[in-house]
Amino acid sequence: MKISILGGSSLAKTLGKKFIDSGIQVSFGVHPEFNAEETEWKMLNRLHHRICPFESSIIQGEIILICSDHHLLPQIWEAFKNSDTANKIIIDCTNTEYESKISHSPTKVLKRIAPKAQLFKAFNNLGADYPHSDPLGIIKEVYFCGDEIPEKNRVRRLIELIGFKAIDAGKFQNASLLEAFYHLGKEITSNKNQESHFHFKLISV
């Protein structure tokens, strides 16, 4: 299995390291001005030679995770347009900026520019700044959604492989609900005027 992680966010780096530690080949797709000299990125590149342009990483990956900061997404969309994504699994891990309408979610764009790919939403509840948003390591669950196709089980196993409990949130059309869930947590954090972060936990009764 080969995974492509698009973006230079803290989430991208953290998930990439977890997958590498699990024995999976990982490439990191980044924008041309990305600074790969930051200590952890430098070590990842020196040991694994995995940092490359967006398009190169897309070509290499069977499974592609989008973990980019929001302002770089247009560059990623352009890279997808220039690449063959047929039958690839694409997992959107991003969240629409709160000022934007949830209906403008990146998942809507993906359906248009990668119509032959298998699309899923996952890991977005962690946030692009993970693990800084979870300094105590209390988040143990990852919500994911996607249509009921065989690849959905691969996404579930991928989540579980790196130590999270995978919570199935239904079909891909529910992606906007997962983003709204994330932004609700951010709003609670903001209204509390505290430096703490607030997260949700699913409880069955």
Domains of the chain: 2-192 (3.40.50.720)
Residues 6+ apart with CB under 8 A from 171: 145, 146, 147, 148
Residues of the chain with pLDDT below 50 are none
Q: How high is the pLDDT of residue 101?
A: 53
Q: How high is the pLDDT of residue 187?
A: 79
Which residues on neighbouring strands pair with residue 143, listed in sequence order?
Answer: 167
pTM of the model: 0.92
Cα–Cα distance measured from residue 113 to residue 105, given in angstroms and rounded to the nearest whole number = 13
Q: How high is the pLDDT of residue 126?
A: 95
Q: How high is the pLDDT of residue 181?
A: 85
Please choose, from the candidates 64, 46, 51, the residue with its C-alpha nearest in 3D space to the C-alpha of residue 13: 51
User: What's the Rg (C-alpha) of the chain?
Assistant: 16
